[in-house]
Chain A
Amino acid sequence: MTLPDWIDDRFNPILVKEVRQALRGRYFKVTYGLTLIAATLVGIVCLMASDSNQDIGQTYFVGIYMCMAAAMMGLVPFQAFVAASGSGRGGRAELLQLTALRPRQIVAGRLLSSLVQSGLVLAALAPFLALSFLLPGVDLTVLVFVVVYTLIFSACVSCVTLSASFLTENRLLRVLLMVILGGFQFSLVSSAVAGVSEILRNSQDLQDIEAQVALAVFAGVAIFIATFAFIGGTLRISHPEENRSTPLRVLMFCFALVGMIGTYLAMHFVPHPEAEGFVVAYLALGFAMLLPAGIFSGEPERLGRRVQVTAPKNALVGLLVTPFMPGGGNGALFNLMILGTFGSIMMLFPTVDPDAGDAWVELFVFSFLWGVTAFNLPSALLQRWSKHMPVRVLSAFSPGLFFAATAMVPTFFGLMAGDRDWGDFEHPFCFPWAFERLTRDSYSNKEAIWAVALLMFVVTVLVNMPRMLRGLKEVQRVSRLRRENEARAKAEKAQEVSAA
């Protein structure tokens, strides 16, 4: 066997097929051709329009970058969305389930094919990029940074569009998804172009630690979302009885840990006033990132047969991994755990910042109470109907809806009753308002704010207790069952041996 053959054999089959299909198809040819033509035209226009000789390279580069971003973050990921249709009953993805391919390989193959297409676009634009470098005004480091950053984002966007494509086969919903994704991609491409022209103009800003951290965090968030989408897509096309929850839970948990350690390091090494900004950003980011946690507490409770065989045989290990097992009750446990982990960084604040530390702890406890309520209360009420897909979607969005509802509904009643404060979103059920009041030393009526948060928390715990216990018991039961099965199999074997 020759070397090329050997390499050819190692390629992901989906990658080979997708690239062949894409290269043969009209879509890619048009994308490719249009990008080249656009780059040429834009380049000419930029060169003619630029009046100062100093930054002619910059103007030219921004023009070329516009084409590059549109192709790599717009058209190529969109192609991934279109090509990945057919995941429903009798669809292509389902038939692949019958081959030796694993769902992970399928998603990875599609993602790689998108990357190859991005690479081809990049290769085609390379002469233009080189020209912009030869013109005055563009730094090589900036150029390399921009290209690498765009490649990363291209892969991330492809991940998201690809997995979004697995969500539904319904025509109407797919059109809706296309519109949403298209809008998202458009805004991403335009902000990328704006960002690049900004960076070109103030390229010394890149030396700034703050700018570097911001860019790194931005890329980190994008990679997190992409990873989430990748795993989500993989689970979506795997067998319905397969464990479709644990990998995502592990990812969330790891993210919480990384965020926690990152914030702690930032607080230690970044000068004091700036660290506070990080902490607030971290809190906001944390809540945004936790949004998918609503998916976990909305799952049906029964552990499928293929999930059961993955339960640990050891009872104690079973207890420890229960929050990571699928099911709504376990999801509620998971949310408790992750909110606790995620927020416990706040407990360390007094050691770093002795003056304001206690205030931070207070705010953390308050956010924790609200977080647990939002993530677990609505989903617990919906648990009984969690067999039905629409209810689960509702559950997944319920934390956000809960914050909105607790702010709006009392406000509405305040308006009806003619209460000026309540009608202005100034009541203890409105989380942002209550949070803001707690940060003020002068505010006198903090008891009411705490009472509301505590009351909701207690109700949440009471409502969730049964299903969390059920979840714990179920995992223990399955674990015991596995132990018994193993013992029985052993006994049978021993009997066979002695009989022989």
Chain B
Amino acid sequence: MKILDVQSISRSFGNVKAVDNVSFSVSAGEICGFIGPNGAGKTTTMRICSTLELPDSGDVLVSGSSVLDDPRGVTRKIGFMPDAYASEQNTPVRDYLDFHARAQGLRGAERDKAMRSVIDFTGLDPLLDKEILALSKGMRQRAGLAVTLLHDPSLLILDEPAAGLDPRARVELRELLTVLAEMGKAVLISSHILTELSEICDVVAVIEAGTIRASGRVSDIQKKLSPDALYYMRCLAEGEALQRFLLEQPGVDKVRAEGHGCVFGLAGGEEALADLLGRAVNQDLRPMEVRPLAVDLEEVFLSLTDGVVQ
């Protein structure tokens, strides 16, 4: 079920086309990585999805509500966490959450319940009496996440939530998001640090200079980019022989030595791989290890974008 449906939105600021005919969608239970270099239009797209900015053309549907025609209906269903959280002075975490719960129209026992559940979920219990401004970056991020979860939105839009977090905090954030996805929420999360997305995202949308360069499952994108799958192969025979052998084979390209073995691309799927292995055995190369290489987001990203800065 599509929760977020972005339908060819465009938005310009003066001469800058910040977002140019962008379409993609995120389903329930899915974590979508929104990747692009600085100034690509990630924040603008996310702000349009959260009704904070209006598209010049196109529309965004959140569970069927349009950001243009029913912005209030949309804001009820989303939790948006901006890249920089505005600070509140003289406010302990408890009051901060209490205020946002009130602002979301939660009353009495309902409010207590909502607060209890987000506090338990984000583990803010020991910090409730600390002032927001005194929190560390990771903890403040948690408080921000707690606020966005208060009204139990079905779509979470997080703008660079992992920026500036240490590896440990990043792992914790990832775990939280995975749990949220398992609960059936759709999550859109932006970043230009790719490795932090590669392990949690089911799908990605790569944006550059306002246009979507690719979207879908990471492996699908990879396949579309280069139809060859990448493999690593190691033999008892010396590396050079293996390399020579691979270069002679049909359907093989991008051969390069790595460690004691070789990395190569191969078209034709598993059938072709089995044939190749058979020939390697016949030629007495004595193959010991063959494994498909995991798709590297970094590589996908670099091959998709060409460093245009706007």
Using a CB–CB distance below 8 Å, which chain A residues touch chain B? 1, 5-6, 9, 13-14, 16-17, 20-21, 24-25, 86, 90-92, 94-101, 239-241, 304-306, 309
Contact of B86 with A98 in the complex, beta carbons under 8 Å: no
Collect the chain A residues with CB atoms within 8 Å of residue B68's CB.
Answer: 305-306
B residues 148-199 near A (Cβ < 8 Å) are 151
Contact of A1 with B50 in the complex, beta carbons under 8 Å: no
Most chain B beta-carbon contacts within 10 A, residue among A98, A99, A239, A304: A98
29 contacts between A and B (CB under 8 A): A1-B108, A6-B108, A9-B107, A9-B108, A13-B99, A17-B95, A17-B99, A21-B88, A21-B89, A21-B90, A24-B91, A25-B90, A90-B84, A94-B52, A95-B80, A95-B82, A95-B86, A96-B103, A97-B52, A97-B75, A98-B75, A99-B105, A100-B105, A100-B151, A239-B71, A305-B68, A306-B68, A306-B71, A309-B69
Cα–Cα distance between A193 and B83 once the two chains are bound (Å): 49
Collect the chain B residues with CB atoms within 8 Å of residue A1's CB.
Answer: 108-109
Contact of A13 with B103 in the complex, beta carbons under 8 Å: yes
Contact of B50 with A98 in the complex, beta carbons under 8 Å: yes
In this complex, the interface size class of chain B, counting residues with CB under 8 Å from chain A, is 20 to 34
Collect the chain B residues with CB atoms within 8 Å of residue A241's CB.
Answer: 54
With A5-B108, A9-B107 in contact, is A91–B78 under 8 Å at CB? no
Q: State whether the Cβ of B117 lies closer than 8 Å to any Cβ in chain A.
A: no
B157 to chain A, nearest CB (A): 10
Cα–Cα distance between A356 and B108 once the two chains are bound (Å): 67
Collect the chain B residues with CB atoms within 8 Å of residue A101's CB.
Answer: 103
Collect the chain B residues with CB atoms within 8 Å of residue A13's CB.
Answer: 99, 102-103
Contact of A98 with B95 in the complex, beta carbons under 8 Å: no
Collect the chain A residues with CB atoms within 8 Å of residue B17's CB.
Answer: none
Collect the chain B residues with CB atoms within 8 Å of residue A25's CB.
Answer: 89-90
Collect the chain A residues with CB atoms within 8 Å of residue B69's CB.
Answer: 309
A13 to chain B, nearest CB (A): 4
A117 to chain B, nearest CB (A): 14
Contact of A98 with B51 in the complex, beta carbons under 8 Å: yes
Contact of A99 with B104 in the complex, beta carbons under 8 Å: yes
Q: What residue of chain A has the Cβ atom nearest to residue B79's Cβ? A: A98
Collect the chain B residues with CB atoms within 8 Å of residue A9's CB.
Answer: 107-108
Q: What residue of chain A has the Cβ atom nearest to residue B83's Cβ? A: A90
Q: What residue of chain B has the Cβ atom nearest to residue A1's Cβ? A: B108
Q: State whether the Cβ of B140 lies closer than 8 Å to any Cβ in chain A.
A: no
Collect the chain A residues with CB atoms within 8 Å of residue B86's CB.
Answer: 86, 90-92, 95
Collect the chain B residues with CB atoms within 8 Å of residue A305's CB.
Answer: 54, 68
Q: State whether the Cβ of B100 lies closer than 8 Å to any Cβ in chain A.
A: yes
